[in-house]
Amino acid sequence: RAIYLKDYQQPDYWIETTHLVFDLGDESTRVTSTLKFHLNTSKKHDQLPPLELVGTDMELISVAIDGQVQTKEQYQISKERLILQPVFEQFETVIVNDIKPQENTSLEGLYSSSSMFCTQCEAEGFRKITYYLDRPDVMSVFTTTVIADKERFPVLLSNGNAIERKDLDNGRHLVTWNDPFKKPAYLFALVAGKLEFVEDTFTTMSGREVTLRIFVEPHNITKCDHAMVSLKKSMRWDEEVYGREYDLDIFMIVAVDDFNMGAMENKGLNIFNSSCVLARPDTATDATFQRIEAIVAHEYFHNWSGNRVTCRDWFQLSLKEGFTVFRDAEFSADMNSRTVKRVEDVNLLRSHQFVEDAGPMAHPIRPDSFIEINNFYTLTVYEKGAEVVRMIHNIVGKEGFRKGTDLYFERHDGQAVTCDDFVKAMEDANGVDLTLFRNWYSQAGTPVLDVTDEYDEDAQEYRLTVKQSCPATPGQETKKLFHIPLEMGLLDGEGEPMPLDKSGLTTKVLDIKQPEETFVFTGVDERPLPSLLRGFSAPVHLNYDYSREDLVFLMSYDEDGFNRWDSCQRLAIDIIMELVGKVQKGEELVLDSSLIEAFGKVLADDSLDKAMVAELLHLPSETYLAEQMEVIDIDAIHQARQFVKQSLAAALKDQLVAVYNELNIDKPYKPEADDIAERTLKNTCLGYLVELDEETGVQLAQAQYAGAGNMTDSMAAMSCLASAEHASSRPLAEKALQEFADKWAEDTNVIDMWFSTQAACHHNGLEKVKELMQHKAFDKKNPNKMRSLVGAFCGRNLVNFHDKSGSGYEFLADEVIRIDALNPQLAARLINPLTRWKRYDEERRELMQKVLKRIQQHELSSDIFEVVSKSLA
Ligand code: ARG
Ligand code: ZN
C-alpha cells in the first residue's frame, strides 16, 4: 500500500485550464468539469497513453471527450479511478458527477459546516470533488462557477477574482471566479453561505490596492479585528523582509467551525478553523491572540512559499511547510519578543517532535515513502523542517539567505519543485557547498552531540571535543554524518564573555562535519565555562557534563538569552529526575536549594523581560521529563514535579505574592507583547500559589476570576481554581466552571477551552471526560471538540490517561474506532498517545499493545492502518 519517492514520474498529460461548475443542492451537488489536456511531450510514448483520473466517493453521470459522449465500453471506472483513452495529443473532457457534501464527515473535499459549504483539498481532497489529476505537479488555470439558493447562500466564493454575478430562476444565483495563476488542485477552494465580512485595504509596495475581507457567520462579526491587523502586518513584513508582494486584487479569509487542521492557504481564499482566527478580548486568551497572528501570517506567506512556487510531489511537503514555518516564526519574533518565541518553539520541538523522531512513525523531513500522506503533516515536516531552514539561514547568514530566496522565487515561480531545488538555490546564490547538509532531508532521528573539554593552563589552551551520532530509526539502521552548526561561546569566572579569536568575537558557529572533532582555542587565560548550542542552533540533543553550579552560573551570566533559559531547564530536569529516582525508591523528597535560589533570583530581577521570567519559571512538562527516562514512570514524574512546584511555592511564597500583586492591575486589554508578558508572569505566579495547601492562592484566584476583565485572566483563574491543591478550592472551582459554562454556552470556541481545561486537569479522571462528552455543547464529530476533550485528556492529563487499570487506553481505542469511520484524519491524530507504548512499564505496555491490536481487528482507513501497523511493528 506504500508509495515511494524513488518511483516519482511526471504525469502523461498536463491540464491547461480547468472550468468547474458547482450546482449546490439540498441533497447532492452536481459538478461539471471541463478540462483542456495536452500530452506531456517530455516523456517518451509509443502511443497515446491512457488518461488515468482519480476520484472517490462520487457518482459519475457522464463523460465526454471533445464533445463525444463516452459509452461504458469506452472508459474504465473503479472505486478510485476513471480511465479514458484519448485519441489526440490535445483534447477536452467534460465530466459530470454528483457528490454529497452534506454527508461528508471526513472534512476533505467539499463538505458542509454549520449552515455553509466549504472545501479542504490539501493534500488529496480534490479527488472527492471530481475526477482529476490530483497531484501537485499538475498546475492549471481555474475558472469556477458556483450556483446556489440566493437566500440561504448569498455569499459564493472561490479563488481569484469574481468575474460574473447573475440571478437565475427559482431564487438561485451564480457567481463565477477566475484565478489567473496556475495552481495545483490542492489549492482550490469554494465557500458558500450566509456570511458577513469585515473589509479593509492594503496598498502593496508597488502601489496596488488590495481588498481584504474576513468572512464569518454573523454572530462572529465582532471577532475579526485581530486577524485583520495580523494580515496587514504580515503583508507588510513579507514585502520588507522577502520583497514579496501580493498578486491578486482581493485576499479573503473564511472562518469555519469544522476543520481538521489550523488553516489552509488556498489561493486568494484562505479557510481557517474558527479557533485560529476569531478573537475578542473577552473571548480569547493571549495565547490565542498570538496563535492567530502566527497562523494568519503562515497562510499568507504560503502565497509565495507554497502557491507561486509549489511542491512537485507530497514527499516535498517540507519544501513549503518547513520554509513557511520558519518565515512565520521570524515574523512572530519581529512582532513580539524574539527570545520568548524561540523558547516556545524549542519547547514544542523538544517535547513533541523529538518524541516523534524517536518513535515508530519517525521519518525524515522529506519522507521516502508513505501509505497515507495525511499522516505526514507532522511536527517533523513542519517544525523540524523549519529548523533545517533556520540552519541554512545561520550557515549563509541573513543577507545570503535573502539572496538565496530571491533566486529560488525567481527561478521557480510558477513551478512545482523539490526540496533539493531550494537547497540548490541557496548554494548557487552563496557559493556554498551543502552536500553534507542535505542529509538532514533524508535521515530521520535526532542527532546527538557529546561534548567534552580540556583546559591546558600551561599552554593557555582550551580544547572542545564534539562527537556526533544519530540513533537508528525504522528503516534506517545506520546514519551518515550531518553538517551541524553549533553556536557557542565561553564565559570566564566573572561571567564575562571571552574572546574566541583575535577579532574579539565572543560567539561563533562551529561547523560539525566529522564523527569526532576537536576545536582548539588559544590564549585562554583561565578555565572557561562553555555555553553550547546557543539559540538552539541545531535540532539535536547536546550532552555536556554541567554541574548544578555551572547551570546556575549560565542562567545568570550567559549573553545568550536562549541558553540562560535552557540552563534553567537543565537544572530543573536534573533536580526533578533525581527526585523521580527517590519517589521510585520510596525515599524522602527534599528540594535542592539551588533551584529555590535560582528561581528567587529570577523573580527578583527587574532587568529581565517579564515574559522571559515566566518562561524561566515554567518547569519542564511531564511529556519532556518522560523523554528523559528509558522506562517512563509517569506517576513518579507527576509526583516529583508536583513536589518541586509545591516546594518552590512554599519557599518563595512572599515573593510570588508580591510579584502577583504588583502585576495585578486593572487596565484596558491589549494583545501586545509587554502586556501579555505581565499577564503571563502574573498568572504563572498564581499557578504556583494554588499549589500550596492553604488558602492564599485560592483566594487570589477566586478574586481574579470574579473581577477579570479579559479571557486571559478569567481562564487562568478558572484553571488555577480547578487544579488547586487546597480543598477550599473545590466548591469555588465548581461554581466558577458552572458560571463560565452558562455565560459562554453559545460560543463554541470558548466552550472548547472550558472542556480542555477540565480534561487536562490532574484532579479529573476518565469519568469526568465521559461526563463532559454528554454535555449539550459537545459534538462527537467536531474535531475541535474531540481534541479539547479526548485529545487534552490523553495528551496532557498523563497520570489519569495512563491509569494502571488501562481504562484510558480502552477509552481512546473506542473513540479512535468510532471516529475512524467518520473522519480518518482526526482519528489518526487522536491515536498518537498509544504509539509510544514500548516506552512504558511492562503492565502498561501490554495494555496499550492489546488495544492497538484490538483496533487492528476493525476495518480501517489507510490513516489508522498505517499508524497502527507501524506502531506494532
Ligand atoms: N497547508 C496547511 C497549512 O500548513 C495545512 C493543511 C493540511 N491539511 C491536511 N488535510 N492534512 O497551513
Ligand atoms: Zn503551512
pLDDT tens-digit series, residues 649-695: 999 999 999 999 999 999 999 999 999 999 999 999 999 999 999 99
Q: How far is the CA of 317 from the centre of ligand 1 (A)?
A: 10
169 pLDDT tier (thresholds 50, 70, 90): very high
Catalytic residue among 299, 383, 387, 725: 299
Q: Give the separation between CA 756 and CA 786, rounded to whole angstroms.
A: 10
For residues 150-179, one letter each, b for 16 or more C-beta atoms within 10 angstroms of the residue's C-beta and e for the rest, the string is eeebebbbbbbeeeeeeeeeeebbbbbbbb
Q: What is the mean pLDDT of residues 616-634?
A: 97
173 Cα: distance to centroid of ligand 1 (angstroms):
31
Q: What is the DSSP letter of 566?
A: H
Q: Which atom of ligand 1 is nearest to the CA of 321?
A: 4
Contact 130, 6 (CB under 8 A): no
615: cell is 518562561
List, for residues 34-69, the tens digit of each pLDDT value: 999 999 999 999 999 999 999 999 999 999 999 999
Q: Whose CA is nearest to atom 8 of ligand 1?
A: 122
Q: What is the pLDDT of residues 810-842, one digit of tens each?
A: 999 999 999 999 999 999 999 999 999 999 999
Confidence band of 108 (pLDDT split at 50, 70, 90): very high
Atom of ligand 1 nearest to the CA of 295: 12
Q: What is the mean pLDDT of residues 445-461?
A: 98
Over the stretch 747-791, which tens digit does the pLDDT of each residue have? 999 999 999 999 999 999 999 999 999 999 999 999 999 999 999
pLDDT at 245: 98
What's the gap in Å between 825 CA and the centre of ligand 1?
Answer: 11
Across the chain, mean pLDDT equals 98
Distance between CA atoms of residues 433 and 221, nearest Å: 52
- For residue 260, the ligand 1 atom closest to its alpha carbon is 10
Partnered with residue 455 across adjacent β-strands are: 462
Q: Rounded to two decimals, what is the model's pTM?
A: 0.99
Could you identify the residue written with the cell 468539469? 33
Provide the grid cell at 631: 522506562
Q: What percent of the chain has pLDDT over 90?
A: 100
pLDDT digits (tens, 9 = 90+) for 413-452: 999 999 999 999 999 999 999 999 999 999 999 999 999 9
pLDDT at 445: 98
| pLDDT computed for residue 32 by the predictor | 99
Residue type present at position 630: E
Identify the bridge partners of residue 632 per DSSP, sorted by sequence position. Answer: 840
| Nearest-10 crossing angle of helices 653-663, 634-651 | 80
Sheet with 196-203, strands from edge to edge, namely 196-203, 209-216, 250-256, 269-273, 263-264
Residue 357: predicted pLDDT: 98
C-alpha–C-alpha distance, residues 862 and 868, integer Å: 10
Annotated active-site residue 691? The verdict is no
Tell me the per-residue pLDDT of 691-736, one tens digit each, with 9 for 90 and over.
999 999 999 999 999 999 999 999 999 999 999 999 999 999 999 9
Grid cell listed for 70:
463516452
